[in-house]
Amino acid sequence: MPTCRAFALTLAVAFAAAPAHAQMGPPGPPTVGVIAATKRPVTESSEFAGRIQAAHRVDVAARVTAFIAERLFTEGGEVAQGDLLFRLDRGTFEAELAAREAAVAQTTALLRNATITLNRARALIGSGAGRVSSVDDAAAQQASLTAQLQAAEAQAQAARINLDYTEIRAAIAGKVGRASLSAGNVVTPASGTLVAIVSQDPMYVTFPVSVRAALELRNRYADRGGFTAVQIRLRLPDGRMYSQTGKLDYADPSVAANTDSLTLRATIPNPIRIGAKPGEPGNRDLLDGAFVTVFVEGIQPIQTLAIPRVAVLSDQQGNFVYIVDAEKKIQTRRVTLGQSTPSLAAIASGLQDGDTVVVDGLQRIRPGAVVNPVPFGAPPAPAPAAAPKG
- Hey, is 350 helix, strand or coil? coil
What mean pLDDT is predicted for residues 325-338? 88
92 φ/ψ angles, rounded to the nearest 5 degrees: -60, -40
Lowest mean pLDDT among 156-165, 208-217, 282-291: 208-217
Top-tier CATH class for 46-56+200-301: mainly beta
With cut-offs at 50, 70 and 90, classify the pLDDT of residue 387. very low
pLDDT at 259: 83
Kindly report, residue by residue over 179-190, the tens digit of the pLDDT: 988 888 999 999
pLDDT greater than 90 at residue 99: yes
pLDDT greater than 80 at residue 389: no
Of these ranges, 65-69, 125-129, 337-341, the one predicted with the greatest mean pLDDT is: 65-69
pLDDT greater than 80 at residue 80: yes
Helix (H) or strand (E) holding 8: helix 2-22
Q: Which fold has domain 90-165?
A: Helix Hairpins (1.10.287)
Residues in a beta bridge with 232: 246, 296
Lowest mean pLDDT among 165-174, 245-254, 283-292, 339-348: 339-348
With cut-offs at 50, 70 and 90, classify the pLDDT of residue 230. confident
CATH 2.40.420.20 domain extents, the chain: 31-40+303-375
CATH 1.10.287 domain extents, the chain: 90-165
What mean pLDDT is predicted for residues 32-54? 86
Q: Which fold has domain 31-40+303-375?
A: 2.40.420
For residue 108, the tally of other CB atoms under 10 A from its CB is 15
CATH 2.40.30.170 domain extents, the chain: 46-56+200-301
Is the CB of residue 89 less than 8 Å from the CB of residue 66?
A: yes
With cut-offs at 50, 70 and 90, classify the pLDDT of residue 14. very low
**What is the model's pTM?**
0.65
CA–CA separation, 138 and 174 (whole Å): 59
Lowest mean pLDDT among 125-134, 144-153, 279-288, 368-377: 125-134
